[in-house]
Structure 1
Amino acid sequence: MNPQEKASRYDEVRKEIASVIAGESSRTARLATAACLLAQAFGPRFFWTGFYEVDPGKPDELVVGPYQGTLGCLRIPFGKGVCGAAAASRQTQLVEDVHAFPGHIACDSRSNSEIVVPVFGADGQLAAVLDVDSTEYAAFDETDRAGLEAICAELLKN
């Protein structure tokens, strides 16, 4: 898929997610819908697609949320691994080779590249991160970043 086709597909998926979750107040339902539709739209390149939510009882820790894929890590401290780095910095992490990432947490050894995008609530606070893993090296690029950031920007805004 060339970058223009991929950008168009992200826009279609963003609109589909927005349509399905319109009026839905459950955060779990909103995140589960996004994980499902993204995994379906971009599989098998998206080997693991899901969310780690900020634990209200431990605000410096992520806990696994809705996802599609193999067993995920249950908890990730802020600052640890790619997800923890995204949570701590509140910035997207695009990693071409997870094995070269300092402190990488291997929830599934078949993962070779990863993109993690912060998800903010309506209050502007970090609520979760979207984690997408691929068995391919360098599977994600700036088109993926832009598409996923646009989707995540709308997930919990209303």
Structure 2
Amino acid sequence: MTNYELLARQLEALLDTRDWLTNAAQTCAFLMQEVPRLNWAGFYLQRQPETLSLGPFQGKPACNPIPFDKGVCGDAARSRATQRVDDVHAVADHIACDAASRAELVVPIMVAGHVWGVLDLDSPVEGRFSEEDQAGIERLVRIFTDATDLRAW
């Protein structure tokens, strides 16, 4: 079981700048190091309308770009709601960047009512993400957004 209370305190201490790029890179590295059974952790950013572009990440090379109408990341951006998928291979429009990925958790990041981007976590373990994981990762995303000046990018 992951201790998200401890991870929250550690991430708060780690993010000691307001710079979005530094904090995004640090957050990805932290998640890959501290959250078990991940094979990818990264940000996709909305830099063009209805499209997510690859941002800082840890893991194998990734798909880019991702339209809002495709895949789990697109669903999260379009719906502005966290997507937790036990088996990505059962999702008709899943974008398979790494065939080893089985489960996915994607949290949208909102700034002033607009989609800034998403945090995407992949796991090679089917059913990897529980409700507790979702709540814990959503809290870590809030720590990232509170620590970071997302309007300055």
Q: 1:136 and 2:122 equivalent?
A: no
Match of 2:32 among 39, 43, 52: 39
Normalised by the size of structure 2, how large is the TM-score?
0.90
* Contact 1:119–1:152 (8 Å) recurs in 2: yes
- Distance (Å, rounded) in 2 between the aligned partners of 1:16 and 1:32: 15
2:53 matched residue in structure 1: 63
* Contact 1:48–1:70 (8 Å) recurs in 2: yes
Aligned residue identity for 1:50: G
- Distance (Å, rounded) in 1 between the aligned partners of 2:75 and 2:31: 22
Ranges in structure 1 where 5+ consecutive residues have no aligned partner = none
Normalised by the size of structure 1, how large is the TM-score?
0.88
Match of 2:23 among 17, 25, 30: 30
Q: 1:109 and 2:99 equivalent?
A: yes
Deviation at 1:59?
2.0
Moved over 2 A (4+): none
Deviation at 1:78?
0.6
Deviation at 1:105?
0.3
Deviation at 1:120?
2.1
Bigger relative CO (Cα 8 Å, ≥ 6 apart): 2
Aligned residue identity for 1:78: F
Deviation at 1:19?
1.4
1:19 matched residue in structure 2: 13
- Distance (Å, rounded) in 2 between the aligned partners of 1:54 and 1:115: 18
Aligned length: 147
- Distance (Å, rounded) in 2 between the aligned partners of 1:81 and 1:137: 17
* Contact 1:120–1:153 (8 Å) recurs in 2: no
Instruction: Tell me the alpha carbon deviations over residues 116-138 of structure 1, each in whole angstroms, 9 at most, x when there is no partner.
Output: 011123x3422111111111110
Ranges in structure 2 where 5+ consecutive residues have no aligned partner = 148-153
Aligned residue identity for 1:49: A
